[in-house]
Structure 1
Amino acid sequence: MTRLGEHLELTLIAVFLGFLIAFPISLFAYRHRRVYAPITWVAGILYTIPSLALFAFLAPFTGLSVTTAEMGLVSYTLLILIRNIVGGLDGVPEDVREVARGMGYTPRQMLWKVELPLAVPVIFAGVRIATVTTIGLVTVTALIGQGGFGYFILQGLSRFFSTATILGAVLSIALAVLADRLLIAMEHRLTPWARARGGAV
């Protein structure tokens, strides 16, 4: 149960902090399209760095700590979240925007009352992908002493005990699948209009 708690804690904190960082950056990039490419370029570089290499780079500065783990995990969520937030906003139909303008909505009102609500399904999909990805990456943090289900994998490999390795892998996969199903169910409950629109097509 302790390993499950560690795995969930590392995952939830990383996705939460990643969203807090990605959301304002995405809104800025949505309004100022010239910065979108550079922002996604930087986020893309962070995303492509091997996790072990990134943790090794951070360790001399922040030690083998939760901070090191979270800095690495958060960096891997940014590209996914930024792309989905901006993509969700871009997907709002132009005729909906025209109606909002005709009703006298300011750009700020349109963003918060029209565009963001309609973009929620795509944004939530990004959160779901980031969560499942992070659950997988958390296993690597066992190499810097942060536990989670990766602890079993590391112990199995170091002691040539395949049962522990398989247990850690199966538990990580099961948690990722469960999180994916729960987030899909939550998305359906939070966005009934999207489901209704999809059924009408």
Structure 2
Amino acid sequence: TKGDHKEMGEATKRLGELCAWVPVLLTLALVAWSAFAFAITAIMQLPSSARTERVIVGVLYAIVLALWTATYVRLIATLPGRPRRLQSSDEVTLDLNLHWVVLVFISGVFGVVLLVFGALHLVYILTNKTTIESMERARRYRINNAHESSEAFDPRSTSAISRYGLNIFDVGARENWCAVMGRDWRYWFLPVHST
């Protein structure tokens, strides 16, 4: 009936208003965590003899936190407005919000970086290498091109240089994956111990 639709519309509107506060609450929780972490890491870990440093660091953090809080409260308390538009304009305007353009650009850059980072670590898992082992080629190049008179090239010295690419722990891509991620595919993308 008509009354049910009206009540449903009001309930949806209230739910939308409540959901609009989720980013605000998440931001406030992040700032509260930041203040707690700062108090523990920066202030409490300073030696007790460094009272002056504790006071200076605490006051600087309090000033920055107060400025941020004032700005954030003003941002939240300000009602959204709309710019006035000319009624007789014959121009075709592209109505892009600069904030959305910047947000999409930064999100795209972040996504590309995560894609490269994820692909690189997928290669590390499949070849059973660590980040340090993947940098071994650059180190080996420097050793191989070292000056001939160094101790490393003395025939009586024990050589630490081995053939590049030999990895005795590499048992194939599938077994490497199972060794890191576990055999049960249902746990591969959950943060639980499955190996």
Please, what TM-score do these two structures have when normalized by structure 1? 0.28
Structure holding more helix per residue? 1
Q: Which one scores higher on RCO, CA 8 angstroms, separation ≥ 6?
A: 1
Structure showing greater Rg: 2
TM-score (norm 2): 0.29
